[in-house]
Amino acid sequence: MRFQLLRSPSPSSSCCGYQIPFQPSNGVLLLRSSPMKIPKSHTKKKLSQSRRASEVLAYYGLTTPPYKLDALEPYMSKRTLELHWGEHHRHYVDSLNKQLTNSPLYGYTMEELIKVTYNNGNPIPEFNNAAQVWNHDFFWESMQPDGGNLPCGGLLQQIEKDFGSFSNFRDEFVHSAMTLFGSGWVWLILKTNERRLSVVRTSNAICPLVWGDIPIICLDMWEHAYYLDYKDDKRTYAINFIDHLVSWHAVTSRMMRAEAFVNLGEPKIPVA
């Protein structure tokens, strides 16, 4: 795991060195951009060598989507991605880093930070930025060029088991997207207690991690996500997402990981 010492935040860096590299082959999905505590000896050495001696701080980085910005055309335009990722997502990352300078909230992974700043329903100001950073990371990874169509195998079976049929799930997902009032997100989650998939909506920056369920897919319903391409036509946006953008490959990996935490069925123990 490589890392770089950052002297000061560089706004143009698209990838902070403090992260576990993305490994697409085994589908590691939760890119944990976590800051690392640097041992004191290293910092002292570097500081004494540098003229512009400044405190070494760790920052969360802006992760890049795993595809080019024009790869999701025509369902999501390059301009939307340039703005959505390059301005909005970047702004959340920069704001979060700014809020965390000289803050006791140091050394958390992003998920831990979200749960801590959510503060059991009374969120502190850092929550909005932290949760939005995570939500957007999750959103980019939920999509792929030439995505959509149908999931296959175990995932399809699970969806059919929990929703009746794939088109029921699709209808419910689109309906949730259309009836969400204000800004928010639509999620497919795996409920840890009920051990089934479910579609939920959340407002503003809330994400299912705060109440302990496992997110599987998310769709950004903030207007900045679709306004340039679809204006007020939320229905077409949601339908295009399900039909043409969602990355079932990523979803399958997430389900596999989730099954390590949630028992979805009787194990098949071979009888000798």
Q: How far apart are CA 145 and CA 64, in angstroms?
A: 15
Query: Residue 218 contacts by C-beta under 8 Å, 6 or more apart in sequence?
Result: 135, 138, 139, 142, 185, 186, 187, 188, 207
Among positions 28, 228, 256, 262, the unique one binding another protein when judged by CB under 8 A: 228
Is the Cα torsion angle 202, 208, 212, 213 positive or negative in sign? positive
* Residue 36 CB, nearest approach to another protein (Å): 30
Q: At what angle do helices 154-163 and 248-259 cross, to 10 degrees?
A: 80
Of 228 and 256, the one with the shorter C-beta distance to another protein is: 228
Applying CB under 8 A, which part among 40-48, 63-71, 83-91, 112-120 lies near another protein? Answer: 83-91
- Cis before 208? omega within 30: no
Instruction: Looking at residues 149 to 188 of the shown chain, list those that interact with another protein (rule: CB under 8 A).
Output: 181-184
Of 29 and 62, the one with the shorter C-beta distance to another protein is: 62
Q: How far apart are CA 18 and CA 1, in angstroms?
A: 9
Among positions 55, 87, 146, 194, the unique one binding another protein when judged by CB under 8 A: 87
Q: How far apart are CA 178 and CA 199, in angstroms?
A: 13
Q: How far apart are CA 104 and CA 112, in angstroms?
A: 14
Of 232 and 266, the one with the shorter C-beta distance to another protein is: 232
Contact status: 240 vs another protein (CB under 8 A):
no
Contact status: 121 vs another protein (CB under 8 A):
no
Contact status: 198 vs another protein (CB under 8 A):
no
Contact status: 76 vs another protein (CB under 8 A):
no
Instruction: Looking at residues 34 to 73 of the shown chain, list those that interact with another protein (rule: CB under 8 A).
Output: none
Dihedrals φ, ψ of 77, to 5°?
A: -75, 160
Of 91 and 196, the one with the shorter C-beta distance to another protein is: 91
Binding site for another protein (CB under 8 A): 83, 87-88, 91, 128, 181-184, 203-205, 222-224, 227-228, 231-232
